[in-house]
Amino acid sequence: MISRNHRIIQNKERKRDISYLTNLPGAAAWLQIFNADLDEPETFAAAIEGCDGVFHMAHPLDFAKKDTEEVKLKRVTTALHGILRACADSKTVHRVVYTSSISAAMFSATDENSWADVEFIRSLNTFGGPYTVTKTVAERAAIDLAAELDLDLVSVLPTWITGPFICPSLPDTVHISILMHLKESSLVHVDDVARAHIHLLEYPEAKGRYIVAAAQFTIQELSRFLSAKYPHYQMPSPDLWKDVTAVKSSGLSTKKLEATGFKTQV
């Protein structure tokens, strides 16, 4: 998504129903849709031309491992290079806010200096591992290329995003939270993630990476909360998750983001 006139880019090969966007209040006057393709990075230039800031949010989600890591990394980094070069060539983009993930700081994460150990993640061969690897490699590539292009780039690292959604399909992060695949983690509301992107685009001194996190929880706490709030739904027995390998992203520091004046509201 690109700032000024609320421009949004969609995959040009997917003729999806985007009425949930075009029917938003004010969309007719303020929203522009551009077609582009990650495999053809030059197709992003038209949407970026004349913009003040860019929100880079495109990243293939492939928890099912349909494509190899090599294929995914090539798609992501090729598109990333084209998009960032178009931002630099525009001469109008003053900042890119890059959407990374807490995955890129997993296992050792306490603050923004933490990075996921890619080789260790690969060795685990666990659920979501390829996604973690590609997010980590892509964010490092974004930071390095932005420095090469003298482009101001800030990274947002949200934890598991939840909350209401307007798209017609269930977002993967919400689906995973509902399935209780996480034994101990952190949730953040989608509205706060959106607000953090806008805040970091507009905050003059923003620099580097920013963790966006809110509520810490264990799977037991989440189960009790959902049971109390939605008693008509049957929660799974604790026996079902006793052998689930813990994926921890708790104990995270959000001090850097809070120091900019940002506070989660939801």
Strand ranges in the chain using DSSP code E only, listed in sequence order: 7-11, 32-36, 53-56, 95-99, 153-158, 160-162, 184-189, 208-212, 215-218
The single-letter DSSP state of residue 44 is G
Distances (CA, A) of 24 to 16, 18, 192, 196: 16, 10, 19, 21
Q: In terms of DSSP bridges, do strands 184-189 and 215-218 run parallel, antiparallel, or are they unpaired? A: antiparallel
Residue 4: helix, strand or coil by DSSP? Answer: coil
Closest listed residue to residue 189, CA positions, set 263, 125, 115: 263
Q: Are 198 and 261 in contact (CB under 8 A)?
A: no
* 107 φψ region: left (φ > 0), alpha (ψ -120 to 50), beta (else): left
Residue 145: helix, strand or coil by DSSP? Answer: helix
Tell me how crowded residue 29 is: count the other CB atoms within 10 A of its CB: 8
Active site residue 135: yes
> Got the DSSP string for 191-256?
HHHHHHHHHHHH-TT--EEEEE--EEEEHHHHHHHHHHH-TTSPPPPGGGTTTPPP-B--S---HH
Spot the catalytic one: 12, 66, 135, 207: 135
Closest listed residue to residue 166, CA positions, set 194, 186, 200, 132: 194
Active site residues: 135
